[in-house]
Amino acid sequence: MSTIFLSHTNVDKPFARKLGNDLRKAGHAVWIDEAEINIGDSLIEKIRLGLDEVDYVAVILSNASIASKWVTRELDIASNREIEENRVVVLPLLIEKVELPGFLKGKLYGNFIEIEKYEEAFQLLIRALGGAPPPAATHDELEALRAEVAAAKEVAAHYAAELDGHQKLALRGKSQKLIESIKTANAKFPHHAVINTTHAFQALSAPVTLDYLLWAIAKSHRKGGHPLEALISMDNKWPEVEAMLDAYNDLLEE
């Protein structure tokens, strides 16, 4: 969807507010001074920033705005953008019968002069902005969607309970120290969780998770040895090391 700057005078504020609200309901973003400028802000700087960031500048044209130096300045900035970017930026919207400024005379304008034709003009504006709002979902469609969401939540809860049960079973018999190390490692390396929960072990008093084992192996290669090797040998945990590395290899091949 598009972002639109509404250039207007205070006299035309009621129309600008209505148009801004309708554009937001249609899914577009609207820049309007009363919503974007706070007490203490630089008016010129804030408005210039707004004019530079939006996709379109919709100029609300009335007798008051034609005579407004602010609107004229905003129109000049937007017109320069249109020339530089070689695309439509300025969208003239008439709410009163006025003589169009020179730059706008060759443009098709949105005719909002007649109140009863507001909706027709608004739809033409929406088309110019690149899209109409999606149709609202029916009551039956919303109910069907809620039912699907509820069913999906039940399935997710079922699998979460199963996973929790498997983890508790896998952690059974492990020391509290090892369990805490597994939880810490799983939080840091979630993709190692299955391997750690199933294959993590203790070599004497040292918890060995996959990330710790891989780090120790890498350090051993660089330094020529690591104290973990001695602990594994003393506690005869090489079969556990082999099982963990086999599981890691399977993970890499998936």
Domain boundary among 129, 159, 193: 129
pLDDT of residue 223: 65
Q: Is residue 160 part of a domain?
A: no
Number of domains forming the structure of the chain: 2
Q: Mark whether 100 and 202 lie in a shared domain.
A: no
84-100: average pLDDT: 85
Give the contacts of 122 (CB within 8 A, at least 6 positions apart).
19, 22, 112
d(CA 24, CA 8): 17
Highest mean pLDDT among 98-107, 158-167, 208-217, 222-231: 208-217
Q: Is residue 187 part of a domain?
A: yes
pTM of the predicted model as reported, rounded to 2 decimal places: 0.47
Q: Mark whether 31 and 105 lie in a shared domain.
A: yes
Q: Mark whether 178 and 117 lie in a shared domain.
A: no
Highest mean pLDDT among 15-24, 33-42, 79-88, 236-245: 15-24
Q: Is residue 97 part of a domain?
A: yes
Q: Which residue has the tokens 């597994």?
A: 182
Q: Is residue 145 part of a domain?
A: no
pLDDT of residue 169: 67
Q: Identify residue 142 by its one-letter amino acid code.
A: L
Q: Domain containing 34 — which CATH number? A: 3.40.50.10140
Domain boundary among 129, 145, 165: 129
The length of the chain is: 254
Q: Mark whether 91 and 204 lie in a shared domain.
A: no
Q: What is the mean pLDDT of the chain?
A: 79
Q: Residue 34: pLDDT above 50?
A: no
Enter the DSSP assignment of 67: T
Q: Which domain holds residue 179?
A: 173-253
For residue range 48-84, what is the model confidence (pLDDT) as tens digits? 555 667 888 888 999 998 888 878 877 777 777 777 8
Q: Identify residue 177 by its one-letter amino acid code.
A: K
